[in-house]
Structure 1
Amino acid sequence: MPDLLAQTLAMPGLWALIGTVFIAGVVYGFAGFGAALIFMPLASSVMSMEVAVAAFAVSALSSFVTVVPRAWGQVNRRGVAVMVVCATLSASLGLWILRVTDLTVLRWGVIGVTSATLLALVAGWRYATTPTLATRSAIGFATGFVGGATGLLGPVMVLFQLAGRDSVTTSRATSLVFLTVTSLLLLPLMAIQGLLTPPAVVLGLILLLPYGTGARLGARLFHPGLEKFYRTVAYGIIFLAILLGLPLWD
């Protein structure tokens, strides 16, 4: 274990990853989404997708302390529970795709999903109806599949949340609880498929503190009246992460 820790600390690009995951945590803390959208495009350019996905899932556990306790009382717990269960059920297929698919294809997949989500959010797409149980189930299944394959749990679910009519406080809290709980439940699935390797766990533990610190800071910055500002900043950071994560720069 000491040797593995030393190797991880000497990994090229580690400090850039630490800075990236801190920024991702800040955005996640105040906006309720965007952490993986920021982290994965950059992380996948310096390590395998399998390690990046597993390490980020480990680091996300800090959210149980930093942001979930306050958000828990602001969500529709039944609706969130349905989406979490469905996402967990479909994630295994996504993780299998992650394990057998070419890295370059997956990286372009990450860029594609991230870009499509960002465009939809910036365009301001909204739906007017109240989501049914079937709708929430479908969103959960889609989220788990995409999240397992690309490490991006947020896009489908966040688009669903931001396209609705919930207040920014409720939407943010729902995203925080869903993404954090689902990340936890993905860990045993990753272990079963051999993705939760010692290097990924060690890296995730190293990233846990900066991610948690960033999320705590972001949560303190959150104010419902500044919704437009928060979204604008998050969109800008996500766009920058997309550009920096393009395989074209390799």
Structure 2
Amino acid sequence: MESLLTLTNLSAQEFLILTLIVLVAGIVRGFSGFALSALIMATAVLILPPVELLPMLWWLELSASILMIKEGWAAADRGTAIGLVIGSTAGWPLGLWLTVTLPVETSKLIALSIIIVLAISQLGKLKLSFLATRPGLYGTGIVAGIVSGLAHVGGMVVALYVLASDAPARQMRASLVLFLFLGSLTSMITLLIFGVMDFSGVTRGLIFAVPTMIGVYLGQKLFIPGLAQYYRPFCLTLLCALAVVSLIRTQVT
């Protein structure tokens, strides 16, 4: 245990809390296909600043995607996923630049606010017809890249795009899985260029990937036809609640 605490540069209490957070977030990711990073960012941001969470989250997303990519590749709208990745690649550098240049408290505030706005938008079933166009596809990808670099919640933006097409739950879930997997390849390059992917981020990512993958496995078992219609409202409500609580705590501490 001492060696793990040394490698992650965390106290015992922080380590246990983060382990529980990534386990629960993994369950949600396995069930819904997204929201892993957003859930962790909404809660773990009280322990680590966003710029330190970003490299760790890259490894957690990759580990989750590895478990889910087979199903994602089979059921996803591949053309849409690839188009979103292209746009996201263009937006990532700007979002990451904002993260490394803004004060820690400001980046926390922006990250949590983004999560709340996107969650409420989806709960309200916001549908924008222009998103179904080709410019809408690439534009959504660019915005997803910016908020991924800033708060690692690009999956939420992509989910808004999928809502505009009224995709079935299984296809939406699969498209998000494929987007996050393909996007991880290009986002790593950006993280390295900006010097954000450091040794601490790598070690934390690899260590916390274990409870994350356990959670993803359990979440996948919960995705059954009878519960498919409930997965999106459940995840978004939980996400919004956690983000609001975290936002309040950052303002009173």
Q: Within the alignment, does 1:227 sit opposite 2:231 as a pair?
A: no
Q: Within the alignment, does 1:248 sit opposite 2:241 as a pair?
A: no
Amino acid across the alignment from 1:186: S
How far apart are 1:229 and its partner, in Å?
2.3
Q: Secondary structure at the match of 1:13?
A: helix
How far apart are 1:10 and its partner, in Å?
4.2
Residue aligning to 1:116: 117
CA contact (8 A) 2:169 2:229 kept: no
Identify unmatched segments of 5+ residues in structure 1.
none
How far apart are 1:53 and its partner, in Å?
1.0
Residue aligning to 1:6: 6
Residue aligning to 1:153: 154
CA contact (8 A) 1:22 1:213 kept: yes
Q: Structure 1 pair 3/207, CA: closer, same or farther in 2 (3 Å)?
A: closer
So what's the TM-score if we normalise by structure 1?
0.91
Task: State the distance in 2 between where 1:10 and 1:102 align.
Answer: 22
Residue aligning to 2:17: 16
Task: State the distance in 2 between where 1:146 and 1:228 align.
Answer: 27
After superposition, the C-alpha distances for 1:93-151 in whole angstroms (9 at most, x for unaligned) are: 11111111111111111121111111111112234678232221111111101111122
Amino acid across the alignment from 1:8: T
CA contact (8 A) 1:39 1:241 kept: no
Task: State the distance in 1 between where 2:211 and 2:104 align.
Answer: 27
The 10-residue stretch of structure 1 (194-203 or 122-131) with the greater mean CA deviation from structure 2: 122-131
Q: Which runs of 4+ in 1 moved over 4 A?
A: 2-5, 127-130
How far apart are 1:249 and its partner, in Å?
4.5
Task: State the distance in 2 between where 1:126 and 1:231 align.
Answer: 15
Q: Within the alignment, does 1:87 sit opposite 2:77 as a pair?
A: no
Task: State the distance in 2 between where 1:111 and 1:3 align.
Answer: 32
Q: Secondary structure at the match of 1:105?
A: helix
Amino acid across the alignment from 1:248: Q
Residue aligning to 1:169: 170
So what's the TM-score if we normalise by structure 2?
0.90
Instruction: Tell me the C-alpha RMSD between the 2 structures.
Output: 2.1
Task: State the distance in 1 between where 2:237 and 2:79 align.
Answer: 33
Residue aligning to 1:213: 214
How far apart are 1:63 and its partner, in Å?
2.2
- The number of equivalent residue pairs is 249
Identify unmatched segments of 5+ residues in structure 2.
none
The 10-residue stretch of structure 1 (232-241 or 121-130) with the greater mean CA deviation from structure 2: 121-130
Task: State the distance in 1 between where 2:36 and 2:56 align.
Answer: 13
Q: Secondary structure at the match of 2:196?
A: coil
Map residues 62-141 of structure 1 onto 2, 5 A cutoff.
62-127=63-128, 131-141=132-142
Higher fraction of helix: 2
CA contact (8 A) 2:132 2:161 kept: no
After superposition, the C-alpha distances for 1:140-170 in whole angstroms (9 at most, x for unaligned) are: 1111011111222222111111343111111
Task: State the distance in 1 between where 2:124 and 2:211 align.
Answer: 32
CA contact (8 A) 2:65 2:177 kept: no
Task: State the distance in 2 between where 1:138 and 1:130 align.
Answer: 8
